Structure 1
Amino acid sequence: MYRVFLFVAAISITATASGQDTASRWFDQLQKVNPNQHAVAGQWQKSSEGLRTDAATSSRIIVPAKVPRQYDLRVEFTRHSGQHSVAIFFTCGVGRATYELDAWGEHLAGIQQIDGGDIRSNSTRTDNLRLENGRRYTAEIHVRRDRVDVLLNQKRLATYRGDGSDLSILPVWQIPASASLAVGAYQAETTFHKVELRAVTGEQVVNETSSVAMTPMPKQTSPATVVVPTAARPTDTRTAKRVLIVIADHHFFYREYADPRQELERAGFTVEVAAGNRNECYPHGNSGQGNDGGGVLPDFALSQVDPDRYEAIVFSGGWGASMYQYAFDGRYDDAAYNGDRQKKNAANRLINAFHKQDKYICGICNGVSVLAWSRVDGQSLLSGKRVTAPTRAAPSGIYDGQRGNPSIRWHVEKNGGRLVPAGSIGNPRSRADDVAVDGKIITAEDDQSAREAGRQLARLLK
C-alpha cells in the first residue's frame, strides 16, 4: 500500500505572549519550511502554491511546529498523479496512527492501526473513497483527549473513541523523532497548499513562530528507503517484529538490500541494518541506488548485534559480502573483500545463533556464499540443503590455490549444497521468482529475485 502522508507528533506546549485563548485562529506552518534543510526524501520545491514533491518513493519533508495535547489540524492538498493513498499521521496521547484516503488499492479510508488492526478490519473503515487527481481537497483531524474526528471537505468520515493507547503506526515511514509535523507522498506528484494548526478551547495556543530543534537525518540512501537511527523509528514496539539485514562495508548490491527491506517494512516489520563497521557503507555502482550514491549508515556493527531481538537475518549480496565468508581459505584481489577474522567470526556467530533458535536465515546472490562458508557444528549451513545461487562470476582471486573467478554457485558446490538449475523456480523466463526455501533456509538467485525473497520471508514470519 502506498501513501501520501502527514505526520503529527505531540511535543511541548507553548503560549502566545498575551496568553489568550485563540481557538478560532489557524496558524500557517508552511512558512517555516526550508526544502534544503527539512527535506527527508524526494525532490521538493516551494512556491506561492505551497510545497510540491516529485513522484519519488516515500518522499517527505519536515514541517517544523509545536502542537498542544488537543488541537485541530487542517491540510489542503492536490494529488496530481498516481493512484495511491493520501494519509494523515497524527498523535493522540501516547499513541500515533494514520488516517488514510483511497487506500489498499480498494478505495478504502479509515484509521490504522487500532489495536493492531488496519483499515480493512476496524470500525473506522469507509468504502468507495476515491481521490480525483487534479482536485483540491481539505482534510481536518480534530484530536481530543478521548476521541479523534476526521473530516474531508467538511464531511465527517470517521470517529475514533479512546485515549490513543491502542493506536500504532506501521514502521514504513521514518522521520526524525524531534519532528512534530511532516508531509509527503508515495510515487505521486503532490502539492500541499496549506498545513495549519489551531489549539482548542482550554488549551494554550500554538506559538506561530516556534520551531523544533531538528535531529539531522543520515544521508538519504535512495527513494526506496531511508536509514535512520533506531531511536527515530516510528514503530509500535508492542507489536512490531524485527528483521536484521546484513550488508558489506564496501560493495554491497543496493537492490539486494533495498528491495527486501521495502517488502518487509510494507508488511509491518521493523528492519535494522548491520555491517562489519558502523561507518557509512557504499554499494556497487549502478546497483539500484539513487543519484546520491546510495550510502547506508548501519544501525549496528555485527559484533554489537543481539540475535534475540530478531525473527530473521538476511545477508544481502554484492562482491563485498565475501568479507563474511568464515571458512573460505582463498584470497581476493580486492583486499576489502577478504574482510578480517573478527568480522568473519561475528557473522558466523550470528548464523549459529539464528540456527540454534530455529529462525529464518536468508542469503541473496553472493550473500548465499556467506551461508555456504559458515560452519555450524562443523559443517556448512547449506550442506544437504536445496539452494539457488547465481551463475554470475564471483570476484577474482585465488580459489583452491589457483587464480580464477568461478561462478558464485561454486561456493555452494564446495560446501555440499544441492543446487537447483539456475532460473528453474517458477517462471522459466524470469529470475524474479527464483527463491528456494528449505526449512528455515531461504536463498534468492540474484538481485532480480531479491524483492520476492522479502515477500516470501514476510509471509513465512506472519
Structure 2
Amino acid sequence: MSDAPAVLFAATSANKVGSLETGCWWGYEPIIASPKGDKVPIDPKSKQEQYLTSTSRDFLKDDEAMDKLNNSVRVHEVDPNDFVALFVPGGHGIMVDGPKDMKPLVEAFAKQDKLVAAVCHGPGALTEAELNGKPLVKGKKVTGFSNSEEKSFGADKEVPFSLEDRLKERGADYHKGADWSPFVVTDGQLITGQNPQSSQALGKAMADALGAASR
C-alpha cells in the first residue's frame, strides 16, 4: 500500500446469473478485490458500444489498471484499516456472491464509520450486512437497480432476487429516479447509485464526501 488514501473497489467473482453471462459492470476505476481473487469477470454487455465511455476506453488501454483487474486480491485478505472508503460496482454478478461474501467486509467498513458506496446492482452486497444487530440499510435512504429497469433489461427472471424488493424487505427507505437516468442518494456515510448511468455522479459524491472529511 502507498501512503496515499486508498479506496477499496470490491467486485464480484461470479460470471453467471441464471443463464446469463455476467460479472462486474464495465466502466470503473481499477477494482482490486473480489471473493475469489485473481481475474474479475466483466459483464459482456457492458462492453457493447452503447455502454462504453471515454473512461472505460482509456481503462482498456491502461496496462496498470488491467493488471489490477486481472489480479485482484481476495476480500477476506483485505485490511479495512488500509482504506478510507469501500466502493462496490454493479453488474448482475454481485447479486450472486455479494450478499454473503462481502458481508464481513461491508460490516467492517460500516463499524469504522467509513464511507460505503455502491452503484447499480452493487447495493446487493449491502443487503445481508448488519450494524449494531440491525440491517445496515434499515432506515437508510438508498437506491439501486429498480424492478422496472431489471424488467426492461430482460434479467428479471434470471436474478436470484429483486434488488429493489430486497432493500425494502431489509427496512431501507428505497428511492428511485427515472429509468436509465443518473440518480444518487446519500445518507450519512452510505452513498448509492441507481444504475450504470449514475456511476459518474456517484464518483463525484464520493470525492466530495472524502474531500469534506479530510478538511
Question: TM-score if structure 2 supplies the norm length?
Answer: 0.75
For the pair 1:275 / 2:47, whether they are aligned, the reply is no
For the pair 1:312 / 2:67, whether they are aligned, the reply is no
Asked whether the equivalents of residues 275 and 298 of structure 1 are also in contact (C-alpha less than 8 Å), the reply is no
Aligned CA-pair RMSD:
2.7
Indicate how the Cα distance of structure 1 residues 422 and 301 shifts in structure 2: closer, same or farther if over 3 A, else same: same
Quote the residue 1:303 is aligned against.
Answer: 76
CA apart distance, 1:379: 2.4
Asked whether the equivalents of residues 319 and 395 of structure 1 are also in contact (C-alpha less than 8 Å), the reply is no
Asked whether the equivalents of residues 372 and 415 of structure 1 are also in contact (C-alpha less than 8 Å), the reply is yes
Asked whether the equivalents of residues 317 and 364 of structure 1 are also in contact (C-alpha less than 8 Å), the reply is yes
Q: Which runs of 5+ in 1 are unaligned?
A: 1-229, 262-270, 327-343, 400-404, 424-428
Runs of 4 or more consecutive aligned structure 1 residues displaced over 6 Å after TM superposition: none
Indicate how the Cα distance of structure 1 residues 279 and 452 shifts in structure 2: closer, same or farther if over 3 A, else same: same
Higher relative contact order (CA 8 A, sep 6+): 2
Quote the residue 2:18 is aligned against.
Answer: none
CA apart distance, 1:356: 1.2
Q: Distance in 2 between matches of 1:309 and 1:420?
A: 32
Q: How does 1:199-214 map to 2 (within 5 A)?
A: none
For the pair 1:246 / 2:10, whether they are aligned, the reply is yes
Q: How does 1:326-337 map to 2 (within 5 A)?
A: 326=100
For the pair 1:456 / 2:205, whether they are aligned, the reply is yes
For the pair 1:363 / 2:118, whether they are aligned, the reply is yes
Indicate how the Cα distance of structure 1 residues 385 and 300 shifts in structure 2: closer, same or farther if over 3 A, else same: same
Amino acid at match of 1:254: W
Asked whether the equivalents of residues 38 and 73 of structure 2 are also in contact (C-alpha less than 8 Å), the reply is no
Q: Residue 177 of structure 2: SS of its match in structure 1?
A: coil
Q: Distance in 2 between matches of 1:276 and 1:430?
A: 28
Q: Distance in 1 between matches of 2:72 and 2:166?
A: 29
Quote the residue 1:447 is aligned against.
Answer: 196
Asked whether the equivalents of residues 313 and 354 of structure 1 are also in contact (C-alpha less than 8 Å), the reply is yes
Indicate how the Cα distance of structure 1 residues 377 and 456 shifts in structure 2: closer, same or farther if over 3 A, else same: same
Asked whether the equivalents of residues 127 and 136 of structure 2 are also in contact (C-alpha less than 8 Å), the reply is yes
Quote the residue 2:99 is aligned against.
Answer: 325
Question: TM-score if structure 1 supplies the norm length?
Answer: 0.36
Indicate how the Cα distance of structure 1 residues 398 and 324 shifts in structure 2: closer, same or farther if over 3 A, else same: closer
Quote the residue 1:374 is aligned against.
Answer: 129
> CA deviation digits over 1:17-75, x for unaligned, max 9?
xxxxxxxxxxxxxxxxxxxxxxxxxxxxxxxxxxxxxxxxxxxxxxxxxxxxxxxxxxx
Q: Bigger radius of gyration, 1 or 2? A: 1
Quote the residue 1:422 is aligned against.
Answer: 177
Q: Residue 185 of structure 2: SS of its match in structure 1?
A: strand
Q: Distance in 1 between matches of 2:11 and 2:141?
A: 24
Higher helix share: 2
Q: Distance in 2 between matches of 1:284 and 1:398?
A: 14
Quote the residue 1:15 is aligned against.
Answer: none
For the pair 1:431 / 2:186, whether they are aligned, the reply is no
CA apart distance, 1:387: 0.9
Quote the residue 1:388 is aligned against.
Answer: 143
> CA deviation digits over 1:171-222, x for unaligned, max 9?
xxxxxxxxxxxxxxxxxxxxxxxxxxxxxxxxxxxxxxxxxxxxxxxxxxxx
Q: Distance in 1 between matches of 2:42 and 2:159?
A: 23
Asked whether the equivalents of residues 390 and 422 of structure 1 are also in contact (C-alpha less than 8 Å), the reply is no
Higher strand share: 1
Q: Which runs of 5+ in 2 are unaligned?
A: 16-22, 47-51, 61-65
Q: Distance in 1 between matches of 2:45 and 2:158?
A: 23
Q: Distance in 2 between matches of 1:436 and 1:319?
A: 20
CA apart distance, 1:308: 0.1
Asked whether the equivalents of residues 99 and 128 of structure 2 are also in contact (C-alpha less than 8 Å), the reply is yes
CA apart distance, 1:396: 3.8
Q: How does 1:187-198 map to 2 (within 5 A)?
A: none
How many pairs align?
A: 182
Q: Distance in 1 between matches of 2:81 and 2:156?
A: 33
Asked whether the equivalents of residues 242 and 272 of structure 1 are also in contact (C-alpha less than 8 Å), the reply is no
Q: Residue 244 of structure 1: SS of its match in structure 2?
A: strand
Q: Distance in 2 between matches of 1:248 and 1:272?
A: 10
